[in-house]
Amino acid sequence: MATLIDGKQTAKQIRGDIKRKIDERKSDDLQIPGLAVILVGDDPASEVYVNSKGKACEKLGMFSLNRRLAAASTETEVIELIRNLNSDSRIHGILVQLPLPDHINTDRVIQSISPEKDVDGLHPFNIGLLVAGKPRFIPCTPYGILKLLAAYEISTAGKEVVVLGRSNLVGRPLSNLLSLKADYGNATVTICHSRSRGLPDICRRADILIVAIGKKRFVTRDMVKSGAVVIDVGIHRLAEEEGGGVCGDVDFESVEKIASAITPVPGGVGPMTITMLMQNTLQACELATARAKK
Ligand code: GUN
């Protein structure tokens, strides 16, 4: 049976470190980190995410603002709100919950966030730094996965890593990071997707298989090499007739029998994502303090 990679426990440890650093800032009379989360519209899943981000801030003693805009808001209104937050000195991180309604251009909205407050790491400037091998804000889910691998002492150096999925939020930045000359990198990385020919063969090459394809139980036992590490980024709500609860992009029951280590869903990658958002917000605050001292 595979080792369970416990994201809840790992996230708890990292949050403990973040809280200690924030408490230290308070006792040193330094500014506390502040995060603004913008939600446009009323998608119920996004509401849940946004609320949990606010709660996480509160627990760590961070400052947080939740800004809700109606689904019919214009792109100009969203960008105007971001401009105000860009110049709000209480705020070090700005996150616009995605997806945005169809009538709003996501690229223009993301590009209006000050790169210094882009704690999601989605602004082209920060993507550029990452690809150039000098990451500043690492997107939260990839960052969480790197931290999980580190916590379980799973080295990536020299390994065959296959990333299944090419989204801007997960697959693309993660595949870049893993190939960098860095402690968490030095891997031989293959990025593949739903249109890749011979996917099962490609996946079976992996020493570490990272799945972010957004399809329920897509990866089955026949796609996994014996002894591989499997990281499941997916989360899908199951209907009552499917047994309720949630499942991932990996068919956990069959794959855990062949993997050496695997993340469960829920309780694997999920708890790490918000934690790394908190980490990035703390980092943005520390960078702001350092700039002010210059
Ligand atoms: N929607 C789902 N995941 C994310 C994320 O990591 N960042 C943002 N901004 N929106 C999301």
Residue positions counted in the chain: 294
Q: 279: how many CB neighbours lie within 10 A of its CB?
A: 24
DSSP character at residue 104: S
Q: β-strand 3-4 against 34-40: which pairing, if any?
A: unpaired
Domain boundaries 140-270, CATH class: alpha beta
Mark whether 97 is an active-site residue: yes
Catalytic residue among 120, 207, 232, 249: 120
CA–centroid distance, residue 225 to ligand 1 (Å): 31
- Pick the residue whose CA is nearest to atom 4 on ligand 1: 98
Range(s) within the chain of domains with CATH label 3.40.50.720: 140-270
Residue 258 phi, psi dihedral angles, 5° rounding: -115, -25
- Is 294's pLDDT higher than 90? no
The residue whose CA has the least distance to atom 2 of ligand 1 is: 98
- Structure confidence by residue, pLDDT tens digits, 56-75: 999 999 999 999 999 999 99
Half-sphere exposure of 246 toward its Cβ, with a 13 Å CA cutoff?
15
Q: What is the pTM of this model?
A: 0.97
- Check pocket membership of 120 for ligand 1, CB cut-off 6 A: yes
- Crossing angle for the helix pair 171-179 and 124-131, nearest 10 degrees? 30
pLDDT above 70 covers a percentage of the chain that reads 100
Q: Model confidence over 158-192: pLDDT tens digits?
A: 999 999 999 999 999 999 999 999 999 999 999 99
Residue 247: helix, strand or coil by DSSP? strand
Give the pLDDT confidence score for residue 28 in this predicted structure: 98
Ligand 1 atom at minimal distance to the Cα of residue 95: 9
Ligand 1 centre from 170 Cα, in Å?
10
pLDDT one-digit tens code per residue, 207-243: 999 999 999 999 999 999 999 999 999 999 999 999 9
Interval between CA 228 and ligand 1 midpoint (Å): 28
* Ligand 1 center to 49 CA (angstroms): 9
Cα separation, 285 vs 215, whole angstroms: 36
Is 23 a catalytic site residue? no
Q: Which two tokens stand for residue 206?
A: 């992996």
pLDDT of residue 279: 98
Q: From the centroid of its chain, how far is CA 11?
A: 12
Which CB contacts under 8 angstroms, 24+ apart, belong to 285-288?
Answer: 285/25, 285/31, 285/32, 285/33, 285/34, 285/92, 285/93, 287/116, 288/31, 288/92, 288/116
Tell me the fold of 29-114: Rossmann fold (3.40.50)
- Tokens standing for residue 127: 């993507």
Per the residue annotation, which of 53, 117, 147, 225 is the catalytic one?
A: 53
pLDDT digits (tens, 9 = 90+) for 16-50: 999 999 999 999 999 999 999 999 999 999 999 99
Catalytic residue check, 13 = no
Choose the residue to mutate in 94, 98, 109 for probing ligand 1, maximizing ligand atoms within 8 Å of C-beta.
98
Percent of the chain surpassing pLDDT 90: 98
- Ligand 1 atom at shortest distance from the alpha carbon of 141: 6
Does any ligand 1 atom lie closer than 6 A to the CB of residue 97? yes
Mean pLDDT of all residues belonging to the chain: 97
Residue range(s) of every CATH 3.40.50.10860 domain in the chain: 29-114
